[in-house]
């Protein structure tokens, strides 16, 4: 083996070792799992002054883990956000939703947006989370963002709503009610038409009953 070939092989081995080091070393960019124990403990303390039933209901909203956990956190916030003595409960609810959102959970992003946009001081951040949820394809976020972006373009908004109204889900239900209200009031570029308003409301009711029956059957 020639000296130049030995040097080449040595260089390749060194390069491989360097690459292996950088590819396998800890980067430090992975966020640690959220630990809300301290905040939850404060929330628990604030619940001690409530009647047992009310405290139990709020506690259940804060620690739920099922499909309704997002709505539950938002519900806990709504019930306590304006009560100084229950501020720790509201703080935990928001922090919990934020942890879900920051972990990439699109539904968590949507419900965090809902909570943040209830106050002027946090509304801008709230709409940023709405956009992030929509970019991930979360249906309710896509619907709300579309309404927001096309509010001054009635023809495009109506076309979008027609598309939404064909979906047999909560988004389709909202779109049908949007048409019903629009035809009733003569707004959003829709003419005032009582017959069409009634038709869309009836279609919305039928879809709502169907979705409710499907949900109960689960």
pLDDT in tens, 50-72: 999 999 999 999 999 999 999 99
Ramachandran assignment for 189, one of left (phi > 0), alpha (psi -120 to 50 degrees), beta (any other): left
**CA-CA distance, 156 to 44, in Å (whole number)?**
49
Query: Is-contact 212 168, C-beta < 8 A?
Result: no
Please check the confidence at residue 168 and state whether its pLDDT lies above 80: yes
* Higher per-residue confidence, 27 vs 132: 132
Determine the pLDDT at residue 218. 73
Mean pLDDT of the chain: 86
Question: What Cα–Cα distance (Å) separates residue 205 from each residue in 40, 157, 160, 162, 211?
Answer: 40, 22, 21, 17, 10
**CA-CA distance, 108 to 175, in Å (whole number)?**
23
Q: At what angle do helices 87-102 and 69-80 cross, to 10 degrees?
A: 150
Determine the pLDDT at residue 215. 84
Q: Where are the domains of the chain?
A: 35-142, 150-218
The two tokens of residue 173 are 């239900």
Who contacts 143 (Cβ-Cβ below 8 Å, separation ≥6)? 164, 171, 174, 175
Q: Give the model confidence (pLDDT) of 110-166 as tens digits.
A: 999 999 999 999 999 999 999 999 999 999 999 999 999 999 999 999 999 999 999
Determine the pLDDT at residue 115. 97
């Amino acid at each position: 083996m020639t000296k130049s070939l030995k040097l080449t092989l040595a260089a390749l081995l060194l390069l491989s070792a360097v690459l292996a080091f950088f590819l396998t070393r800890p980067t430090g960019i992975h966020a640690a799992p959220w630990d809300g124990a301290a905040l939850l403990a404060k929330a628990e303390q604030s619940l001690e002054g409530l009647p047992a039933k009310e405290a139990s209901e709020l506690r259940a909203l804060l620690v739920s883990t099922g499909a309704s956990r997002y709505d539950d956190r938002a519900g806990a916030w709504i019930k306590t956000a304006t009560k100084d003595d229950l501020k720790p409960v509201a703080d935990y609810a928001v922090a919990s939703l934020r942890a879900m959102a920051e972990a990439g959970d699109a539904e968590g992003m949507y419900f965090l947006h809902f909570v943040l946009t209830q106050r002027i001081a946090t509304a801008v951040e709230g709409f940023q989370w709405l956009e992030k949820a929509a970019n991930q394809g979360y249906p309710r976020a896509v619907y709300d963002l579309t309404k927001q972006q096309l509010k001054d373009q009635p023809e495009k908004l109506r076309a979008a709503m027609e598309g939404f109204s064909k979906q047999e889900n909560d988004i389709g239900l909202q779109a049908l009610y949007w048409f019903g209200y629009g035809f009733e009031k003569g707004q959003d570029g829709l003419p005032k038409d009582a017959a069409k308003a009634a038709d869309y409301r009836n279609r919305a009711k039928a879809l709502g009953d169907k979705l409710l029956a499907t949900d109960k059957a689960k």
